[in-house]
Amino acid sequence: MLLKKLGFTVGILCASICTSGVASADDKDFLAAREAYRISDLPALAEYSTKLQGDLFGVYADYYLLSRQLDKVDPIAVITFLQKYPDTWLAEKLRGEWLLLLAKRQDWTNYRHFYNGLLRPEPEHKCYNYTARIKTDDKTAAEEARTEFWFNTKDLPTPCDELLLLLQQTNVLTQDDYLLRFRLAVQNGNTALARILAGKLGIDVPPKLIEQMAKNPQKYLTRPDVETAIGHELYLAALHRYVRQDLNQALTYWQSVQKRFNSEDRPYGWRLLALTAVKKQDIRAVDWFKLSEGTYWPDEDREWAIRSAIRVQQWDAVLAFINRLSADKQQERVWKYWRARSMEGNAEKAKIVQAIYNGLAVDDDYYGLLARDRLGNRISNQPKTYAVTEQDKQLSNQNVGLQRALALYTLDLRTEAVREWNWSLRNADDKLLLAAAEQAANVRWYDRAIYAADRTKQLHSYSLRYLTPYKEITRGYAQELGVDPAWVYGLIRQESRFITNAKSTVGAGGLMQLMPTTAQWVANRLKIPYHAGMVNEVGMNVRLGTYYIGHVFQQLGNQPVLATAGYNAGPSRARQWQASTPLPVDVYTETIPFLETRDYVKKVMTNAVHYGLGFEQGSQSITERMGKVIPAR
């Protein structure tokens, strides 16, 4: 039963949670409650939970108390909290914690009940939910779990591994399912899983053989056993590993044995070569992908196939590969654009091409701007700005979540503030989004102002979407160093969203996300005494970053798109991604093999177009702004 007693009383917990109302929070009491939570001081938490009732931070005090004794409370206490604070980020967070506890207890009936209210489940919640459904005789759960997780090769949390074991006790998995999962396990070096699956397939797999293959794949390729089923799998696993070390030698090995593989395994071998080749921008990749039909082929691999054909501008192949994507994938803007691009030379399809471009050009994102260029329509102005009204401001002021986020921001509790802000705006309409954006901009919380303004659908404010803080500094250094200020702002918006002390996982810092070694190098060039704190000084960060992007621009032949890619991934890589012949700039960008850099270039250049309009630089063409990509020297 959902409300079955667990042997604990709620006591002061329920007494404090059952009242409501909002007033201004006492920051000292809230911060003290936060510290009590950190050190698990339950008596203090109980005191602050009572004391902060009705305050803006009352939800935190109640959450702190409940979360710290979640394994001892009655479900009524959880339900009471969820009902008292509906639609809050902390309600979602507590529900997720409660679900993990129910899973630990294997209380699958209650798990399913509480899971229904979880709005953004993590993978572990999803896997536990499938387990709960299977355990409670949901007839469709196993098949759905198979579709979502059985072929997933990414690192998954333990609950998902447990789900996969549970699936093997059902009747939804076919022999082919086991074989493909076994293949993926062998290639990833997961010996334990490979042995389990081999047992299901009736294959004897000596663990040491897999380990030896993983350590020295070339040795296995030189003395292949391709007469048995396990021999085939180990060979493909060795090929999978070795092809990344030496593509040409791997090709030689494969060509010597590929005819001894069946009609399903042979295409798979060619695809292993193709997937490495396309990431090395080897022009042979497209032909190898063409040999890859006839076996399991996920959309992710097909997207690489499309890019291999884009790179060599084999437009018939581009279209053919797009047509083999799943229906949902084909509707993504990227593949709509490339569908139209691949049909441009076909007079019979001219109307289809124009219709696709017209549909894309309604929006002004990267593909919308490219579509405008293909139609010959430069963008000359931004949408009319919506002026936030007093009524809009009042709605924002009355939104408890937004005001709590702003209060957390003033206390420099950025993590909690961002989560509150994002959660509170997840279903907001355009007017609330713009009122919130304006309020954030007014307190210099620029990244959240952009976050809000970026989400509008019909009413827009591009002055909020493309904010220009630190204008005198940024435009001053851009003019001094001869760099387009719209481009500089486009970089900063993408790099840091104007967070002055932003720091990346690799150590880059400040508005323009400079690595310490880069900052020191530029400082030396400019004859400025270097110290570590320079990257977080607004003026110095912009000066050093603007100089560096200008230097990269000159180093890479005055090609903006190469310089942008080089700023993110390094100039040498940007140069490696050139071809021996000129490339259309959209082709170069789409075939950048690093997802992060590919996305970065698209966004920076889109930003620069809009900043160019805002700076009254005249009508804009993203293709012209990105420049040409000349042959590699």
Just list the catalytic residues. 495
Residue with the two structure tokens 């509790």: 413
Residue with the two structure tokens 């399913």: 112
Identity at 595, one-letter amino acid code = L
609: tokens are 């177009």
Burial class (CB within 10 angstroms; exposed 0-12, middle 13-18, buried 19+) of 23: exposed
14: tokens are 């329920």
The number of beta carbons lying within 10 Å of the beta carbon of residue 617 is 15
Three-class SS string for 454-481?
Answer: CCCCCCECHHHHCCCCCHHHHHHHHHHH
* Alpha helix ranges (H) inside 526-590: 538-555, 560-569, 571-576, 585-590
Q: Collapse the DSSP code of 620 into the 3-class scheme (helix H, G, I; strand E, B; otherwise coil) and give the result.
A: strand
Q: Which residues contact 512 (CB under 8 A, 6 or more apart)?
A: 491, 492, 495, 496, 541, 542, 544, 545, 546, 548, 549
Burial class (CB within 10 angstroms; exposed 0-12, middle 13-18, buried 19+) of 347: exposed
- Name the nearest CA neighbour of 444 among 474, 469, 481, 411: 469
Residue with the two structure tokens 């000596």: 206
